[in-house]
Amino acid sequence: MLDADRLSLMGNLRSGLPGFYHWPDSNASIGFRTELARGGDLLHLFWLIPITTASSSGEEWEDVADTVPLERRPRHFGGYSFYFRCPGLRGTGCGRRVLKLYLMHNQFRCRYCHQLVYASPYERPWERAFRRANMLRQQIDSSNAGLDGVPEKPDDMPVEVYARLLDEILQAETQAYQARADWTRRFVAWVVDRSKPPFTL
């Protein structure tokens, strides 16, 4: 997933500035270059994908490139907000203004073009709560945790923000464990009920 807000906050959406977009939860990254012009702003993306060939003994890579139009919209207090304009699939010209694009079949497109559904309708209650807790941990940087598993406060984070995030993480994880325990009890009761022999005279 490619996030326009994250690219903008990192200062990467400036004309002609090349850079790399790295996903914090994986080792994947892509290169990009922004082209801002009056005729239309563009985000040029490029990355490598592994290919398998019968004649090759080692791993080979193929260059992949994609271009996504950008849209700048002025903010109330100055500056601009950046959005993607989805190019669409197979020449459909989607044109939706979105903040996030998703990579499938070597193309970054919107959720509608890739026919993606939100994960939340298919999540169990505790999975949703654990996902929220993990997202909160990422705001603190969960890779820097103490022996008790509590993430340490980043140097540039105010104490009140750090305390609030820790409290929200605790609440989310408590809800997750409680919901999973409730579901387990209901499932065990259902299994035991089905194992009872049928009533006979």
How far apart (Å, rounded) are the C-alpha atoms in residues 48 and 165?
37
Kindly report the backbone phi and psi dihedral angles of residue 68, in degrees, each rounded to the nearest multiple of 5, phi listed first. Answer: -125, 130
**E-assigned strands of 10-166?**
18-22, 29-35, 41-51, 60-74, 80-85, 97-98, 100-104, 107-109
- Which residues, 6+ apart, have CB-to-CB distance to 124 below 8 Å? 179, 180, 183
Per the confidence metrics, is the pTM higher than 0.85? no
pLDDT (tens digit, 0 to 9) for every residue of the chain, 201 residues total?
888 888 887 777 776 777 787 776 556 778 888 887 776 788 888 888 777 655 555 567 788 888 888 888 887 777 778 889 998 887 677 888 998 898 888 888 988 888 776 655 556 676 777 777 777 777 776 455 554 567 777 777 788 888 888 888 888 888 888 887 887 888 788 777 766 665 444
Interstrand relation of 29-35 and 41-51 (parallel, antiparallel or unpaired) = antiparallel
